[in-house]
Structure 1
Amino acid sequence: MTGGGARVLCVGIAVLDQVWELPVLPPGPGKFLSHGFRETGGGMAATAAVAIAALGGVALWHGRLGADGPGATLLALLGRCGVAVVDVVPAPGGHSPISGVLVDAEGERVLAVFPGSGLPEASALAESRLEGAGAVLADPRWPAGAERLFRLAGARGLPRVLDADVAAAGTIAALGPLTDHLVFSQRGLVEFTGTDDPRAGLAAAAARLRGMPALGPAGSLAVTLGARGSLWWREGAPMPLPAPRIAARDTTGCGDVFHGAYALALAEGQDPPNAARFATAAAALKAQRGQGWHGMPDRAAVEALLAEGWA
């Protein structure tokens, strides 16, 4: 673990991504020829941690892996990307998460994730790991791990970012009171509210989360919308934040990069609106570059895009 940047502790899933490149996504069942293949790291919290390290932060990751080949590969990849793995004991007989990703020429993808099996339910995260942290982040794939992180961070008054993606029933509702920055994916918001209109969904989420920290003066409630940017709940209404127009190579992991960059900006002391703009630039550059964990934008690229601006 190197660098003198702000420290962010990320808890959640790491996945070994096997990516096949196709001219177009399959219209249905059948056999299709891929013109490219790569194996890289993925998973929400782990990808967020890799993004944080690439952007100059100090990134720590805590999660669950099996004592198997994919787990060993992920640990090696995280280390090479500058992420410190903390309090992770690979489970004997456990199967690490792995995914199959189909990506088309426009950067859109179809993703199938095996979340692993035989992995521990309880988190062994040591409280001392939060020493010096400026913010924390968790995804909903490991509810017990996210809950422990958020309770420890809440006691220290640290910003707590939840990547509110699709999750097991009741998970987001249970974690909502423990986080002060709740940022949904579009599918996560649909699942949480039952509506596929982002504005109506964000309003419904705000009503359901009334009185919780995410709606407090220092908190945030939002939904990311890919190329359309994001919506943020401000003063009782959804406020849009557009994304830069870019030629997307691969959108896999862009939402995770957004959450990681957002958490890093909060750890650095930026307010939510500026943190959101920083995260938007980072996610756009990631979509433009593709290449999994190897395509993360650095700080200079993000700051250059911010200086250039976009409509």
Structure 2
Amino acid sequence: MTAPRIACIGMAALDRTYRMPRLPPAPGKYIASGYSDVGGGMAATASVAVARLGGDALWVGRTGDDPAGEWLRAGLAARGVRHLPELVAPGGITPNSAVLVDPEGERILAVFPGAGLVEQPRFALDGVAAVMADPRWADGAAHAFTLARAMGIPRVLDGEVGAGQILHRLAPMADHILFSERGLREFTGIDDPAAALAAVAARFDAVLAVTLGAAGSLWWRDGDAHPLPAPVVQAVDTTGCGDVFHGAYALAIAEGASVDHAARFATAAAALKAEAGSGWDAAPGRAAVEALLARGW
């Protein structure tokens, strides 16, 4: 069977990652115990997860023609992810992040979203079986969702925190809206995740969920929020776990899985990513995810 092509629209970032004995409690100077440059960004990480899990991954996002952009594009290509060269901006500054990670895998991020990048989306989605988009390039996500709706293919929104009204613009265009806890709180103004999902369900006819980190996720069905626990793992770095979750979920849906199975598949993939460490190479392969699903939790 031909692997389904998943288009992941949004951000790639060079994550400059610092290992810390503990996260800083206050402003000051702190000594890191380790350092590495790793690939990051929500949509780019999701695309690597798709490729690692056996999908045909297409990342649709913006970089500059600077060294960071070259590093990211080469890294994606080496991991089996294709990208669109017309979205490389001459003179642009590629998104990058500073990531502080403690021994339990918790982190603090400072994200620079880039500058001088391509603004107008003019790409096509030939042969794509599902679209996953983050809110970091709103025009690109909206363009992709419009194309996907006309093609009759699934449209998965990574409902992470977005600037201004971006989530409110994109949510009506998606048929699978998977929020982060902070994104859902920002979207609704409601602290309780179950109550917040109920508020969203009153407005949108879509698959709705919120990820809750080590606690797993909540899924809205039959008029109520249903918990899906996550496997208990020893987390090394939780950066990118939500991105792996979204990529794995989009792939499973494109393969014809039910929402329940896609949710468990994505949960297993995210847990294995947390356990494996930092960067794109920590995204799990298909065999590891299937083995965890077979064992159960």
TM-score, normalised with respect to structure 2: 0.98
Shift of 1:87: 4.6
Tell me the residue number matched to 2:130: 135
Instruction: Give the number of aligned pairs.
Output: 297
Shift of 1:91: 1.0
> Structure 1 residue 194 and structure 2 residue 189: aligned?
yes
Shift of 1:88: 3.5
**The one of 169, 172, 181 aligned to 1:177:** 172
Which amino acid is 2:150 matched to? A
Tell me the residue number matched to 1:294: 281
Q: How does 1:149-160 map to 2 (within 5 A)?
A: 149-160=144-155
Q: How does 1:263-278 map to 2 (within 5 A)?
A: 263-278=250-265
Q: Percent identity?
A: 59
Q: How does 1:53-132 map to 2 (within 5 A)?
A: 53-126=51-124, 129-131=125-127
CA contact (8 A) 2:88 2:118 kept: no
Which amino acid is 2:166 matched to? T
CA contact (8 A) 1:62 1:87 kept: no
Q: Following the alignment from structure 1 to structure 2, what is the Cα–Cα distance between the partners of residues 247 and 194?
A: 32
Identify unmatched segments of 5+ residues in structure 2.
none
Which amino acid is 1:261 matched to? A
Q: Following the alignment from structure 2 to structure 1, what is the Cα–Cα distance between the partners of residues 99 and 86?
A: 26
**The one of 8, 17, 20 aligned to 1:19:** 17
Superimposed CA distance per residue, residues 75-114 of structure 1 (whole angstroms, 9 cap, x where no aligned partner): 0111111101125332122111000000000000001100
Superimposed CA distance per residue, residues 137-174 of structure 1 (whole angstroms, 9 cap, x where no aligned partner): 10011111001101111111101100010112111111
Tell me the residue number matched to 1:247: 234
CA contact (8 A) 2:61 2:87 kept: no
Instruction: List 4+ stretches of structure 1 deviating above 4 A.
Output: none
Q: Secondary structure at the match of 1:287?
A: helix
Shift of 1:175: 1.1
Q: How does 1:203-218 map to 2 (within 5 A)?
A: 203-207=198-202, 209-210=203-204, 212=205, 214=206
Superimposed CA distance per residue, residues 16-62 of structure 1 (whole angstroms, 9 cap, x where no aligned partner): 00000011101111111111111011111100000000011110011
Q: Following the alignment from structure 1 to structure 2, what is the Cα–Cα distance between the partners of residues 234 and 87?
A: 40
Which amino acid is 2:232 matched to? R
Q: Secondary structure at the match of 1:223?
A: strand
Q: CA RMSD in A?
A: 1.2
Tell me the residue number matched to 2:272: 285
Tell me the residue number matched to 1:217: none
Which amino acid is 2:212 matched to? L
> Structure 1 residue 144 and structure 2 residue 142: aligned?
no
Q: Following the alignment from structure 1 to structure 2, what is the Cα–Cα distance between the partners of residues 239 and 304?
A: 24
Shift of 1:130: 2.9
Which amino acid is 1:20 matched to? Y
Cα 1:47–1:88 shift into 2, 3 Å: farther
Q: Secondary structure at the match of 2:50?
A: helix
Q: Following the alignment from structure 1 to structure 2, what is the Cα–Cα distance between the partners of residues 130 and 139?
A: 20
Q: Secondary structure at the match of 1:130?
A: coil
TM-score, normalised with respect to structure 1: 0.93
Tell me the residue number matched to 1:40: 38
Shift of 1:198: 1.1
CA contact (8 A) 2:167 2:187 kept: yes
CA contact (8 A) 1:62 1:88 kept: no
CA contact (8 A) 1:136 1:160 kept: yes
